[in-house]
Amino acid sequence: MGDSRVGVVVITWQRRDEALACVERLLQLPEAPHVVLVDNGSTDGTADAVRDRFPAVEVVALSANLGAVGRNIGVRRLRTPYVAFCDDDTWWAPGSLALAADVLDEHPRLALVNARIVVEPSGAEDPIVAELRDSPVPAPDWLPGPALGSFLAGASVVRRGAFEAAGGFSERLWLGGEEELLATDLLSSGWELCYLGELTVHHRASALRDATHRRRVGLRNTLWFTWLRRPVGAAVRRTLFLARTVPRDRTSLLGVLDAVRGAAWLITHRRPRPAVVEARLGVLDEEQRRSTARRYVG
């Protein structure tokens, strides 16, 4: 019968085969979601291939790679109250979208739910799942799952109104750790985020990725977020920790230089999060230092 409450936004770049496989799986879901695929300027024929094979899918072909901003563009094409994000190498399990909509319906102050992530082809849980499940962020009694201070975009369902009011993903950050800034802004506006283990996203990591560039951008974005939203003391401590722990190589140096070049922008847009939010999320600092599942600089 389908479920008209949730639409899906997929972003892709230069991964035609993965994008086709992802869209095919989404169209087979019992929720029958409206799917918007945003092609970030691929030159491998992705947009045309998806249009030809799946005419029901709304394809937005951009002329340049806008990274996570492609999700913002996809969200604006939808009128559903909730939006599920999907990367071209992930896909949602049957029933998860409907369950996410049920939970968001029931909890009007909940802006976003993050699913459990299963790695394919092994079928094992992604190591990050343990950190989501055991999140130390204090949670209000009504929250249906562990409270989160950030999320993984390709495994999340968001309340469209909250997403748009917060401005979506930052154009400046492009792609890589962009979720942390949006999460902080949602929490600062009184919304909540949580992990729901009953939801499942499958992830088959594409081999078509530039890990070096992702690490460079990830380091830059970590520094930018830190100085955009953290108080000075916490920002200094986080910066010193990164200085001690990131690889001492050309990629890290370039990431730091990229961050420094944005100093004028940082000063203009710096807005430390409210003290109550800082106190609540400060417990994540130690978890991030000890994390073996996710390195925020790649």
What band does 83 get if pLDDT is binned at 50, 70 and 90? Answer: very high
Share of the chain above pLDDT 90, in %: 90
The Cα 266–Cα 229 span in angstroms is 10
The Cα 34–Cα 3 span in angstroms is 9
* Mean pLDDT to the nearest integer, 3-30: 97
- Residue 192 DSSP SS3: strand
The Cα 134–Cα 240 span in angstroms is 26
The Cα 229–Cα 270 span in angstroms is 6
* Mean pLDDT to the nearest integer, 51-76: 97
Judge contact between 47 and 59, C-beta under 8 A.
yes
What band does 297 get if pLDDT is binned at 50, 70 and 90? Answer: very low
* The pair of three-digit structure tokens given for residue 39, joined into one six-digit string: 């092609």
Task: Give the pLDDT of residue 211.
Answer: 84
What band does 292 get if pLDDT is binned at 50, 70 and 90? Answer: low
Spatial CA neighbour of 65 closest among 84, 83, 44, 36: 44
- Residue 114 DSSP SS3: strand
Share of the chain above pLDDT 70, in %: 97
Preceding peptide of 30 cis, ω within 30°: no
The Cα 205–Cα 259 span in angstroms is 28
Torsion of CA 256, 257, 262, 266, to 10 degrees: 30
| pTM for this predicted structure | 0.94
Judge contact between 180 and 148, C-beta under 8 A.
no
Is the pLDDT assigned to residue 296 strictly greater than 60? no
How do residues 247-264 score in pLDDT, each as one tens digit? 999 999 999 999 999 999
* The pair of three-digit structure tokens given for residue 248, joined into one six-digit string: 């001492």
The Cα 263–Cα 227 span in angstroms is 9
